[in-house]
Amino acid sequence: MTRVLINGIDGRLGARVAELLSVDASVSIIGLCTAKPPAPVGRAELLQARLTAQQLVELLRSEAVDVVIHLAFAGAEQPNVGREEGVQQNVLGTMLLLGACATAGVRRVVVRSHTAVYGASPLNPIHITEDRPVSPVGTRGLLRHFVEVEQFIAEFAARHPQMSIVPLRCAPIIGGWSPLLDYFKEPNPRMLAGFDPCIQLLHHEDAAIALVLASRFGAKGPINVAAEDALCLSQAIKLAGQKPASMLEPLVHLALTMGNQAILGAWPFDVSFLRHSCVVDTRRARSELNWSPVYGAAESLSMLRTNGQLDVDNERAEQALHAFLERNK
């Protein structure tokens, strides 16, 4: 029996990961949360608490936890997170959790991350592989926290080779609330005149399946996950049911220099992501996790436009998970 702890089961993604993990009878699940989960959590046992480092160690030891899935990132599934709260929970909280896992002898930790940690640059290869260093240049908010967490993980993993730590670098997730969905829902999402970078997306179900597989099988180190189809930003905006608005880049920079952040509307990244593409290679997820996306990016955005939310086909996702589990036996 494998004992899995999900930190952040009170998010929509964490709840879905717990529900999918419950499909596997060889897994028992503990869900650590600070609020009631927004969706069913399968067979997970819930623990609603804020734990100190020592309490975390005691919990992990007493429950003989083998695997931890860390999803508790402020600002990832809910808006309006203060800077201090974000740093405290996202960066320091991850450091504390990893330290507790090492002390308690947890053998595997899967950490949610983001494909944008590579940055947007004209020097990016057409498809970015996991060996490309993460880039803090131009990052802010939640993305900056993901970069700092990954930098810490790289150093921590080198000091604790007995642990398998997997930063799962997810393309922007479509489903529930996300910073990018706020951008897509604006009447006229902003673009830079003369630029139309490619972006990748990831359906909520595919993210949950990838997290399950990363927790169950032997990959180590960062893994990229994204839908198969990369979209031009203008195409993605139109698929979401909106019409893009072009802005001259010098005016944008002038406004930002004067402190007018509102010029970009709800765009959640640095301006460089409106200029350059950041498209990742997902071959490692396919070869080491036997994962492949069930949903395409265009399909997810069209679904969102039609229904105002994503239809979740539980049977489709669970059939896919069963197939992936069978392949990994």
Which tens digits make up the pLDDT trace of 138-165?
788 899 999 999 999 999 999 999 999 9
CATH number of the domain to which 301 belongs: 3.40.50.720
Is the model's pLDDT at 127 over the cut of 70?
yes
Q: For residue range 260-284, what is the model confidence (pLDDT) as tens digits?
A: 878 888 999 999 999 999 999 999 9
Is the model's pLDDT at 308 over the cut of 90?
no
Is the model's pLDDT at 83 over the cut of 90?
no
Give the range of the structural domain holding residue 230, as residue numbers without chain letter: 2-327
Q: For residue range 29-54, what is the model confidence (pLDDT) as tens digits?
A: 999 999 999 999 999 999 999 999 99
69-78, 114-123, 191-200, 310-319: range with lowest mean pLDDT = 310-319
- Domain count within the chain: 1
Per-residue confidence band for 129, with pLDDT thresholds at 50, 70 and 90: very high
pLDDT at 328: 63
Q: For residue range 203-240, what is the model confidence (pLDDT) as tens digits?
A: 999 999 999 999 998 889 999 999 999 999 999 999 99
Three-state SS sequence of the chain? CEEEEEECCCCHHHHHHHHHHCCCCCEEEEEEECCCCCCCCCCCEEEECCCCHHHHHHHHHHCCCCEEEECCCCCCCCCCCCHHHHHHHHHHHHHHHHHHHHHHCCCEEEEEEEHHHHCCCCCCCCCECCCCCCCCCCCCHHHHHHHHHHHHHHHHHHHCCCCEEEEEEECCEECCCCHHHHHHCCCCCEEECCCCCEECCEEHHHHHHHHHHHHHCCCCCCEEECCCCCEEHHHHHHHCCCCCEEECHHHHHHHHHCCCHHHHCCCCCCHHHHCCCCCECCHHHHHHHCCCCCCCHHHHHHHHHHHCCCCCCHHHHHHHHHHHHHHCC
pLDDT at 288: 94
**Separation between Cα atoms, residue 160 and residue 306, nearest integer Å:** 48
CB 14 within 8 A of CB 20: no
**Separation between Cα atoms, residue 143 and residue 262, nearest integer Å:** 19
The residue that leads in pLDDT, 28 or 316, is 28
Task: Give the predicted TM-score (pTM) of the model.
Answer: 0.94
Per-residue confidence band for 303, with pLDDT thresholds at 50, 70 and 90: confident
pLDDT at 84: 86
**What's the whole-number average pLDDT of the chain?**
92
